[in-house]
Structure formats: C-alpha cells, structure tokens
Amino acid sequence: MASNPPYVPGASRGASLADPARLRRSRRSELAIWWREIDRLLLLLVLGLMAIGTVAVAASSPASARRLSTSAVKLDDLHFFYLHLRFQLVGLLAMFGASMLPKDVARRVGILLGFTMLVGLMLVPVVGHEVNGAKRWLNLGMSLQPSEFLKPAFAIGLAWILSWRARDPQLPVIGIATGVMGLVALLLMAQPDFGSTVLFGGVWFVLLLLSGISVKKIVATGAAGIGLMVAAYLFYDNARNRIDAFLGGGGEFDQVALAERTLLAGGWTGSGLWLGTRKLSLPEAHTDYIFSVIGEEFGLIACGLIVMLYLGLVIRVLLRLMDEEDLFTTLAATGLTAQLGGQAFINLLVNLQLFPSKGMTLPLISYGGSSTIALCLGVGFLLAITRRNPFIDREGFTLPGGPARKRSKGQKERAT
C-alpha cells in the first residue's frame, strides 16, 4: 500500500517537494529574510571601501608593475589591477556566502577554519616558500597565506572560548585564551611576522577587556606586552631595524619617508588618476603604501573620506551591539571589527610616518590574494553574526556577577 506524501503547508494537491517553482519561491524567501536581517548600512560601507580599492589599485598598478618588470619579463601596467578584480570577485562570493550562514553555523565554520589555519601555520616553516625574506606562504597550487585566514577565525574562536564564562564563571577561560594567543604568536614569529603578531595581540587584549578581566590582570597584561616589545627589540633584528629607522627619522630613501612625501605630493585635490610621479619610486605601492598613492593622485580630501569610512564601519558595529543579548555575538563582532579597524589604523599611521613600517595592507582597499579573500570572509562572518530578526525583543546579556543590561527605548515601548 503506497504511503501518502508528507503534508507541506501552503502546497497545492499533488505538488512535489522538488517542484522547481516552489524551490525558487523558497530561495526568494531565504534571500528576503537575509536582506531583512542583514546590517545593510555596514554592507554598504564595506562595498564602498572595496570600490575605492578597485580605483586605488588601478592607480598604483603601473608603479608596481614597472618596478617588478625585468628585461626578460615586462608586466602590463594594469597587471595587478586585473588580478585584483579576480580576487575581489572571489572575496565577494566568500563574503555573501558567509553572511547567509546562521550564527551557530558561522561560529562552527570559524572555529574549524581556525584549527585548519593553525595546522597551516605549523607547516609554513617546514614546507612554506619565502618571499622578501619571510616564509609565510604555502604553495597549494595557488599561494595561500594561513595567517590571513587565521585573523577572522582567531576572533571567532577566542570569542567562543571567552563566552564560556557566561555559563560557568569557574572555567579558566582567560588562561585558555592566553595559551591560544601564545601559540599563535610563536608560530607567527617563526616566519617571522611581527606585524601580524602585534595585530593578533591587540585583538586578544580587546576581547579580554570586554570579557570582564580584573584591573590587576589588565595591568599585568599591559606590563607583559611592554616586556615582549622590549624583547622583540633586543632579539628580533627586523623589529629593531624598523624601530631604529623610525626613531632616527629614516633616510631620504627610507620607505616610510617616501610614503609620506608621496602622500602629501598631491595636495588637497590630487594630481589626477595616473598623473602621479612620486609613486613610481615607492616600493609596494599597490599593497602596503596604497594610501600614499591615493593621497598623491586623489588628494588629502579623498584620504580623509577613507578614514571616515573606516570610522563609520567601526562605530556602526559598536552601535549595533549596544543592545545585543548574546555574549558570544558581542565578543565575536567586536573582535572582527578590532582586527579590521586595527589593521587599517596601523597602515594609516605607517603611511603618515607615525608608526614603524609593518608590511601590513590597508583592508578592503590594498591589492592582495589571501588578504583580500580573507578580509571579505571576515566581513561575511561579521554580517552573519550581527544578523538579527527585527521582530524579536532583546533583553541584553548579563556577565556572571555583573549588573543586568538595560533594554533599549524601543524594547521598553514593545514591553508596555
């Protein structure tokens, strides 16, 4: 005796579960829910920065292509621009794909990615290939930099560990998080990658502060950080040379000095696209020092606009988290934002000759393969984690032993 097909609400008699029309309606419904729950303003800010990056890489590509051309191989002036478009396309697919994940799935994917990239970091000193004196890449048919993909995964994984405290305040989450940070720092310094170590340490410190660490531990952590910086200066030649060059003012052809002169060469309005000349002597014009190229060709007003976009992105996330009820969501979103904003802040300071050279790209703007895709993936995780149903009331989370968080004005109105 044949069994009856399962009942599907709203389905017509005899309709199949594999009905193409119904599947299309289901996909449209999922997209509608995603569009309603996503932070559209945050998405707009990210897309705006990526659009600026497309133009900026087009402006800087000739300088880098000519610098890297040889008598045997001559690169097209827009060589890096064409590659950047491909990386941006892959990055956008990763970003939108990750943003559609439910929060729990995004957390699991981030943790799994973190474990995978930690294994990758362990393999880098053994089978990695070296570029510009640093061994940071794995050749897997394509060049992959594990530390770039570890950045968003690190923020999510650390937030997951620290959020255990909300369930059991006796768990040694601070010690576990510190142990993870120590392992990552050792693996990064083995490459060596001092700049990324500083960035990871900053994200770790921000999340510890937000998780409710005591004042004594804050002071001890700060003292330990200063001690590690001193140790890096004493025993790490690359860090010592860069700090000495920064404190000594550098020379006429010092990278940071060249970047500052290039940045200021265009004045307020810039010389115009492809009309800059100082960029031609600038190393890594399409990556580390792309902000200086923007200053020369588009002016300081354009540079100010970029700074405002980064500030707007950070402020937007913080405002969205003000009435968030879930501790993991607050920690993960803050960590992802601190990673992106911290990297941008360091890059801007280097270009302004206010910080030693770090070899760090300008997020969402600089040319990059692993960097561009990983940053877009991180933004996708951020969009997924901060998704919220506008029809659900939010009460606010309470840390163990801490005061209850107040509800927003809108929540109070709905409650009454």
So where are the chain's domains?
39-388
Calpha distance 94→86 (Å, rounded): 13
Nearest-angstrom CA–CA distance, 122 and 102:
30
The answer to whether 348 touches 307, Cβ cutoff 8 Å, is yes
The span from the CA of 329 to the CA of 321, in Å, is 8
Query: By C-alpha distance, which of 367, 415, 373, 371 is closest to 394?
Result: 415
**Bridge-based pairing state of the strands 134-139 and 129-131:** antiparallel
Q: Given CA atoms 345, 61, 136, 381 in this order, what sign does their dihedral have?
A: positive
Identify the pLDDT of residue 9: 47
Displacement of CA 262 from its chain's centroid (Å): 26
Q: Which of 78, 121, 55, 93 is nearest to 273 (CA)?
A: 55
Q: In whole angstroms, what is the distance from residue 217 CA to residue 298 CA? A: 46
Q: How far is CA 197 from CA 189, 225, 243, in A?
A: 7, 11, 16
Res 249: pLDDT? 56
Calpha distance 57→286 (Å, rounded) = 6
**Residue ranges of the chain with pLDDT lower than 50?**
1, 7-17, 251-253, 399-416
| Phi, psi (rounded to 5 degrees) for 409 | -60, -45
Phi then psi for residue 76, to 5 deg, are: -65, 145
Of 189, 197, 181, 133, nearest in space to 360 by CA: 197
Partners of 145 in the beta sheet? none
Residue located via tokens 């993870």: 180
**Could you give the CA distance from residue 60 to residue 284 in angstroms, rounded to a whole number?**
9
Specify whether the backbone of 403 is left (phi greater than 0), alpha (psi in -120 to 50) or beta.
Answer: beta
pTM of the entire structure?
0.83
Axis-axis angle for helices 146-162, 370-385 (nearest 10): 20
Residues contacting residue 280 through CB under 8 Å, at least 6 positions apart:
62, 63, 66, 67
